[in-house]
Structure 1
Amino acid sequence: MEKQLVFVKENEVVTDSVTIAEMFGKEHRNVLRDIETQMEYSGEEFAKLNFEQCDYINDSAKGINRHRKYKKFNLTEEAFTLIVFSYNTKEAVQTKIRFIQEFKRMKEYIQAQERPKAMSDKESLLASMKLTIQLNEDVDGMKEDIKQLRDDIDKKITLDYSQQQAMKNAVNKRVHKLWNEDMVDKSIYENTRRLYSALWKNLKDAYRVNAYPNILQKDFEEAMSFIEGWRPIFNGIKTA
Structure 2
Amino acid sequence: MGLKERAIQKQFKEEKMDNLVIMKNQQAVTTSLQVAETFNKNHRDVLAAIDDLKEGVAENYADLFYEDSYIHPQNKQKYRQIIMNRDGFTLLAMGFTGQKALKFKLKYIEAFNQMEELLKTQSNLPMNNTELLLEAALKHERGLTLVNQRLDKLETETTINRSQQRKIQGLVSSTVIKVLGGKKTSAYKDSSIKQSAFSNCYKQLKALFDVASYIDIPKVRYEEALTLIPKWKPDLELQARIDMANGNGDMFKEVS
* TM-score of the superposed pair, with normalisation by structure 2: 0.42
When Rg is computed on C-alpha atoms for both structures, the one with the higher figure is 1
* TM-score of the superposed pair, with normalisation by structure 1: 0.45
